[in-house]
Structure 1
């Protein structure tokens, strides 16, 4: 029997698993991007509530960030997946639908990752806003800018400039958290590596391949974030 080497195993040939690994990589990227965008939206809204909101909004924001940063990410995924599935099954019972109705694993994972990382993004945006010089905001008011114009031309660009390095760290966190979504049955990169490992009995090869693909995603996204940071830092003192 011919022995298949590592490169043949991860190729697109007859005995290769390259197509399955790349499909898992695509799902991982899609899941991570969706979760990251959701976390940025949640983080911006909660940061606004903690900075400019009234007392109830600030308390709600503090509770959200404290609770979500203290609960293990895997537990949040389980709560979303099984909790939502139980709710769907209960609702289905009202319409005489028997059996367990599973909540879509990709959607549950995206929501769990987005809401969990949103707590991190909240503190990123809040710290970035605090880094803006008060004099710049006072100058905008003195120029007669209304609140919406100040937000669009002063606050949002400067907040993004200061937040980008920390947002890169949150992205790396989201990318690693995406591997936990395998518990919901989503065929992301780690799930495909586990499938190939079990089918061929060569776990080391498949997990090394998965590690290399994760590193590739991390390197390319890190380069993109550095380019974005450089773009938004034009004209700033380094």
Structure 2
């Protein structure tokens, strides 16, 4: 079963319900909604949707995709489930992220910082000088290719091997010799539960409750930005080839 708030999709029965009421969807509308549930953190371009849901001999136009999206949205809205599917202009469509519930009492971070991180949909890991995990945010496992290693008492490099070889730089941050360190555009293995790309920001996390400083690792979903950059580069390359073609003749 897939869930989005009070919306439910049952693959075994090919049924969709909202607050217990069954929605009457056309087959393509059902398949389209299931595709969004299969890739909840990804922006789906019209071409990607076409490749997933249509055969080679019946390829629809992008305007037809917009029509299917519009029909699905209307039925969801009529059932009371509004704003389920968002338009990302120039890129495609995505499942709207649900508000995250942050249990402030379970975190040593300040309530103000927790609210700021939740606002920007940023997860975090706190480690000590030995790079052992002390604390994690509830959904940070979705940012690791090795989620079983995202656990208190484990070395952070097991969960995020991108940090291997950067230990000296991270220690410099802890010793206030360096302000921060960023790693951007890290690709994740293909998994519908994970972002396609993430950014990692490392900085000190001084507290009044601890005698020594701790390292705060912030993790951000950068999939939308990276996919947009890739499309821009592709368009630039295609434009270059078109401009350069007359000079070859």
Give the TM-score band, short-chain normalised.
under 0.3
The structure in which a higher percent of residues are strand is 2
Identify the structure with bigger relative contact order (alpha carbons < 8 Å, sequence gap 6+): 1
Q: TM-score, normalised by structure 1?
A: 0.28
Q: TM-score, normalised by structure 2?
A: 0.27
The structure in which a higher percent of residues are helix is 1
